[in-house]
Amino acid sequence: MTGRPVVLAADAAGLDRAADLLRAGGLVAFPTETVYGLGADATNGAAVAAIYAAKGRPSFNPLIVHVADLAAAERLGVMDARARALAARFWPGPLTLVLPLRPEAGISPLVTAGLGSVAVRVPAHPVARALLAGGGLALAAPSANPSGRISPTTAAHVREGLAGRIDAVIDGGPSAVGVESTIVGLDGAAMLLRPGGIAAEEIAQVLGAPLARPAPGAETGAGAETGAAGRPTAPGQLLSHYAPRGQVRLGALRALPGEVMVGFGAIDGAFNLSPSGDLAEAAANLFAVLHRLDAMGAEAICVAPIPDRGLGRAINDRLRRAAAPRDPHPRPGA
């Protein structure tokens, strides 16, 4: 795997090449004004699964989708008056809005981790904007670093961290902000999900009301990966997890009476996450299969063993949460 990532110049030829790689399902790191992002086509589940594999992420957190402009954002999420006011004031810029997902948006469920909401941002960096606009792309992009390491602010950081694991990096010089985007939840009461590049006070001023904060002890999502230096990591950012309604039994070799079986590899079932036993394919299919189990009203579900390596760790993490006794989470989309 020598020669990867290819370093692309931030010129027309480099951006064309990057867009081609992304459209083909590749992984391309690109500069934003916060940090370098590791981008994949958000409509391509296999490409999004590859982000998790490249970063070695042990769990599926939903990813932020980067788009060129307001119109592209509106195609993905439902923007109310609050969302439009914040977008008018802070986009392009380091503000991420969590919006009700439009079902017709075409975003892979792996991007939203099965949730009924989508996190969207219009980055300000000219190279990111040119890539998104020129390619007509919606890019799922977490920070371009291995899980647990510091977020990268130069192309050299990206190469050091992800050599051999991604296709290309666009060298756009150092990122200016260096801290991640502020995340505001707007799929209910306006809530500060992660502090970041834009101060909560400025956001509250536009909204004309203070932002709610997640309850202490709420499950952590945003920022959980690096515990970003210099920022308090607790209280956690509110992130409900999608889990199917039915009871889930793991490590099953065959279905018991009344169970709907989810297979993997040679252990088949009513569904099979990957008949060939490919963990990336299984990751890409995971949330769609869970939603189909709900749609068919499955009350008892069993899942074949998934190898606990690579992407299998993140799949098993999510399945264990689905199988655990339920907390009184609100149902996503409910």
Sequence-separated (6 or more) residues with CB below 8 Å from residue 81? none
DSSP 41-109: ETT-HHHHHHHHHHHT-SS----EEE-SSHHHHHHHB---HHHHHHHHHH-SSSEEEEEEBPGGG---T
Residue 228 amino acid letter: A
CB 319 to ligand AMP: min, Å: 19
Does residue 40 contact residue 50 with C-beta atoms inside 8 Å? yes
Span 66-105, contacts to ligand AMP by CB under 6 A? 98
Which of 83, 111, 110 shows the shortest CA–CA distance to 96? 83
Toward ligand AMP, which CB reaches closer, 74 or 259? 74
Task: Indicate whether 40 belongs to the interface with ligand AMP (CB under 6 A).
Answer: no
Task: Indicate whether 62 belongs to the interface with ligand AMP (CB under 6 A).
Answer: yes
Which of 80, 73, 79, 90 shows the shortest CA–CA distance to 197? 90
String marking each residue 211-250 x if it binds ligand AMP according to CB under 6 A? ----------xx--x-----------x-x-----------
Sequence-separated (6 or more) residues with CB below 8 Å from residue 166? 4, 5, 27, 28, 29, 38, 54, 144, 158
- The binder of ligand AMP chosen from 32, 59, 112, 182 (CB under 6 A): 112
Residue 199: both structure tokens together: 């101060």
Toward Mg ion, which CB reaches closer, 129 or 194? 194
Distance CA 196, CA 93 (A): 11
Span 115-144, contacts to ligand AMP by CB under 6 A? 115, 117-119, 142-143
Toward ligand AMP, which CB reaches closer, 32 or 272? 32
Span 188-207, contacts to ligand AMP by CB under 6 A? 193
Candidates 5-13, 142-150, 282-290, 325-333; binding stretch for Mg ion (CB under 5 A): 142-150
Which of 4, 53, 43, 36 shows the shortest CA–CA distance to 22? 43
The interface partner of residue 153, options being ligand AMP, Mg ion, none and the CB cut-off 5 to 8 Å by kind, is none
Toward ligand AMP, which CB reaches closer, 61 or 153? 61
Count residues near ligand AMP (CB under 6 A). 20
CB 176 to ligand AMP: min, Å: 17
The residues that touch ligand AMP, with contacts defined as CB under 6 A, are 61-64, 98, 112, 115, 117-119, 142-143, 180, 183, 193, 221-222, 225, 237, 239
| Positions in the binding site for Mg ion (CB under 5 A) | 143, 225
